[in-house]
């Protein structure tokens, strides 16, 4: 079995000119990415009002996923770190906007301006640190924090990705929750090893009574390609509560400051310095001066 692409090289190196062309001309990949994007758009559940929406395609690559967004009548802004993938997208004359950008450093967009977002097969790349300064948790925080800010209230983001293991899945979902998203995980074909697909369905803001998570496909054991029924995983899991980190409890420092000053003064006296006498005013908290 070949190693995962994320293990081989950073994304902008892995998706070089050769790989970008190979990726974009493979009929198998074209078909898979189109199917995944259709499913992500279904889970995005945009209002059926006939008005085209502005969506983000995060890790848009050469525009395969974006093409399906266009076919569904929406506009999109694509973010990608690989210049070669974006060059191929330009050659293919995709109709929408492309930004060469590392999503691990955040999305630089105005707050509340976007109607929804999808990401197809890209987010797992954030979990691989190619340099020690690229700490995955910090990159996930920057990504989800900026995604939360640029989405309009109540808007959704559907991210399909390939977690390497349960710990990575947990790291990604909890990073999203910490940034304020509600929603949950939809796992299509949970009993199939090959057809199993993870969709993180995020809602910008707290859960409301009317928002129910869509049902996963193939829960009954039916699958697109193969079957492996020893998998007992629950296929639609909502976040039970928003999980912002609790504010740290303030430890009372009353008396500690005075103690520290007295000790310091004593120390200086021992050293032979002239030190003012200790009084009831020593180390008192001063009022702010205006
Ligand atoms: C498997 S391709 C998917 C492309 C496209 N979504 C599709 O469906 O064809 C994954 C893409 O994610 C991009 N990517 C990986 N890490 C990224 C990052 N940190 N910032 C932006 N794009 C990234 C890669 O350059 C690559 O184009």
Residue-range definition of the domain harbouring residue 174: 5-238
Query: 59 C-alpha to center of ligand 1: Å?
Result: 3
Residue 226 pLDDT level (bands cut at 50, 70, 90): very low
pLDDT of residue 1: 54
**Which of 4, 15, 19, 61 is the best mutation target for the ligand 1 pocket, counting ligand atoms within 8 Å of the beta carbon and taking the most?**
61
Same domain, 165 and 264: no
Residue 209 pLDDT level (bands cut at 50, 70, 90): low
Query: 8 C-alpha to center of ligand 1: Å?
Result: 14
Residue ending a domain, among 216, 238, 260, is 238
Q: Which atom of ligand 1 is nearest to the CA of 36?
A: 8
- 8 Å CB contact between 113 and 43: no
pLDDT of residue 240: 52
Q: Indicate the burial class of 185 (C-beta count within 10 angstroms; 0-12, 13-18, 19 or more).
A: buried
Same domain, 198 and 252: no
Over residues 7-28, the pLDDT tens digits come to 999 999 999 999 999 999 999 9
- As a whole number of angstroms, the distance between CA 212 and CA 284 comes to 56
- Taking CA atoms, 73 is separated from 48, 49, 146, in Å, by 11, 12, 25
Q: Which atom of ligand 1 is nearest to the CA of 65?
A: 8
> Mean pLDDT across the stretch 178-193?
93
Q: Which atom of ligand 1 is nearest to the CA of 102?
A: 20
Q: Any idea what the CATH number is for the domain that residue 67 is in?
A: 3.40.50.150
Same domain, 105 and 202: yes
Same domain, 20 and 65: yes
Beta carbon of 60 within 6 Å of any ligand 1 atom: yes
Beta carbon of 121 within 6 Å of any ligand 1 atom: yes
Beta carbon of 181 within 6 Å of any ligand 1 atom: no
User: What 3-state DSSP class applies to 70?
Assistant: helix
Whether residue 259 is contained in a domain is answered as yes
Which residues make Cβ contacts (< 8 Å) with residue 246, sequence separation at least 6?
none
pLDDT of residue 61: 98
Beta carbon of 65 within 6 Å of any ligand 1 atom: yes
Beta carbon of 235 within 6 Å of any ligand 1 atom: no
Which of the residue ranges 52-56, 179-183, 282-286 would you say has the lowest mean pLDDT? 282-286
Q: Which atom of ligand 1 is nearest to the CA of 15?
A: 25
Residue ending a domain, among 212, 238, 264, is 238
pTM of the model: 0.80
| 126-135, 207-216, 253-262, 271-280, range with greatest mean pLDDT | 271-280
Whether residue 243 is contained in a domain is answered as no
Over residues 76-112, the pLDDT tens digits come to 999 999 999 999 999 999 989 999 999 999 999 999 9
Q: Indicate the burial class of 101 (C-beta count within 10 angstroms; 0-12, 13-18, 19 or more).
A: middle
Same domain, 278 and 161: no
Q: Which atom of ligand 1 is nearest to the CA of 120?
A: 6
Same domain, 222 and 100: yes
Same domain, 55 and 197: yes
pLDDT of residue 202: 96
- As a whole number of angstroms, the distance between CA 130 and CA 33 comes to 26
- 31 has pLDDT over 60: yes
User: What 3-state DSSP class applies to 266?
Assistant: helix
Same domain, 116 and 55: yes
Same domain, 56 and 119: yes
pLDDT of residue 215: 82
- 44 has pLDDT over 90: yes
> Mean pLDDT across the stretch 213-235?
60
237/82: higher pLDDT:
82
Same domain, 225 and 263: no
pLDDT of residue 231: 44
The rounded mean pLDDT for the chain is 88
The number of domains in the chain is: 2
- 228 has pLDDT over 60: no
Same domain, 190 and 258: no
pLDDT of residue 251: 60
User: What 3-state DSSP class applies to 73?
Assistant: coil
Same domain, 97 and 135: yes
Beta carbon of 198 within 6 Å of any ligand 1 atom: no
């Amino acid at each position: 079995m070949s190693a995962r692409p994320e293990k081989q090289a950073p994304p902008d190196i892995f998706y070089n000119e050769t790989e970008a062309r190979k990726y974009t001309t493979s009929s198998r990949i074209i078909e898979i990415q189109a199917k995944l994007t259709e499913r992500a758009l279904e889970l995005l559940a945009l209002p059926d009002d006939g008005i085209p929406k502005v969506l983000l395609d995060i890790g848009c690559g050469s525009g395969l996923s974006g093409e399906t967004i266009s076919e569904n009548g929406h506009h999109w802004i694509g973010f990608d770190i690989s210049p070669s993938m974006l060059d191929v997208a330009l050659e293919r004359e995709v109709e929408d906007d492309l930004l060469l950008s590392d999503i691990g450093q955040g999305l630089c967009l105005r707050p509340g301006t976007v109607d929804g977002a999808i990401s197809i097969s890209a987010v797992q790349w954030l979990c691989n640190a190619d340099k020690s300064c690229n700490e995955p948790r910090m990159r996930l925080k920057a990504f989800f924090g900026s995604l939360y800010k640029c989405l309009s209230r109540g808007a959704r983001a559907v991210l399909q990705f390939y977690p390497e293991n349960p710990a990575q899945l947990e790291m990604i979902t909890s990073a999203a929750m910490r940034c304020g998203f509600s929603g949950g995980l939809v796992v299509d074909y949970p009993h199939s090893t090959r057809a199993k697909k993870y969709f993180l369905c995020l809602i910008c803001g707290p859960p409301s009574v009317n928002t129910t998570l869509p049902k996963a496909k193939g829960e009954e054991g039916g699958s697109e390609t193969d079957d492996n029924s020893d998998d007992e995983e629950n296929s639609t899991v909502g976040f039970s509560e928003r999980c912002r980190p609790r504010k740290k409890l303030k430890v009372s420092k009353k008396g500690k400051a005075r103690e520290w000053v007295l000790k310091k003064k004593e120390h200086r006296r021992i050293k032979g310095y002239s030190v003012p006498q200790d009084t009831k005013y020593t180390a008192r908290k001063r009022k702010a001066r205006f």
